[in-house]
Chain A
Amino acid sequence: MVEEHGNVAPIMIPKGKEIGKVRIDVPYQVVTVLANLYPWLSKGKIAVVTRRCDEKAFAEYFKRDLMDKSRIVMIGLACGKDQIARCRCTDPVPSKVHLGEPNKGVEKDDLAEKLGKMPPAERLDFWVAQYRKCNKCFGCTITCPVCFCDDCVLEDRTFVAEKGIPPGMAFHMVRTMHMADKCIECGECERACPAEIPLLTMRKMLAKDMKELYNFTSGDEKIVSPLNTTLDGEPMEDECHEC
């Protein structure tokens, strides 16, 4: 990220060129930014300033052979305390720190705790009210670093009728479940949401279930998605690399 035109901009520069005034305090999701560019960058290595969440997002790409690991060089960035607090991040330190001082993550998401204690009907009411604010911008999908299907299930009329705004609960539930084995809890969906729906809290609650039910954690190349394996341990035929 660099400062230009009075704003902070993502930047990709060729080797040997002057960088400009670097800023690391604005949380652009660099994997999302790179994923748009990647199909056009046919050769050479790409160095990326990588937060812990970016590192986990890369793992989801490498795991599915969607990016060539040997081309990515990670420059680890440890997030500052303010950023950690804003993201309610539990896991903020990259495996190798090149920039910044490592800080401890936060223990809990206050809203998730509060919702967890609510009776289910009340909790449902909360989410129904939140999702009624949705204006179908697809920002949660477009800015998501690990949303990489070619055909988006949210555009499929079987699940989501074209007509309505707000789009109805199916839209959100399909997305919530579809991302269950990929989401790395970076919070970009929540930051991108014009309606400020607490999407990161929903993700954190689901991640907790994935851990408890399947002992699954995303963002680790070695852990295969439980949604991708057959019950008797046999490999699936025609395995889809996108989900």
Chain B
Amino acid sequence: MAIQPVPGKKSLQLLTPERKQALEQFLTRITNFLLEYWAHIITTVIGSVVAIAVAIPFLSYFGLDAIAKPLFFALHFACAQIPAHSFYILGHQLGLCARNLSIYASMFATGLLFILTKKRLPGIPWWMWGILSLPMAWDGFTQMFGLRESTWDLRVITGTLFGAGCMWFVLPYIQKILTEVPPTQQQPMHPAANDADMTVQHTGQLVAGN
């Protein structure tokens, strides 16, 4: 007995072979785009946050509070915006406090450096990231618990170290994961390579053969 299509079930016809192929091609293009430009996207988003934070006082200065105010409060999701811990331009508070501004700005700068080196910037080990984070942890926690009051320059220096450390650790690590080929998918070497004078080992070093 032949299988009959259910009348009225048009959704089953949505994935015709042609449409399925087109969908696969579309998804492949998106995947390839993300694999190629993931660092650009991250850096652009972080750069936009910094640009908005710096733009807010200028917008306020020129009387564009209708734009500045929602942007300012939107950035509250990323920062406590304590006035005494913030920079001011033209008498108006930036959208991020000094520490967060330096964190995001250094993240943006490190992301830019990573892109400019064609994603070949070597990463730092996790313990180095920890060392770069320690000054901010010390500065932040001692202030939080009322042991001392930080200063704007300490906030900027420690925030910059932390932000740069995060991106310097994370971006090369992501790139390493994305470019690593699982052992099962490794292409077999050309048979001629076995007899060649030079063979390439998986470590990437050129080794002289017999």
Answer yes or no: are A and B bound together in one complex: no
Q: Which residues of B contact A (CB under 8 A)?
A: none
Q: Which residues of A contact B (CB under 8 A)?
A: none
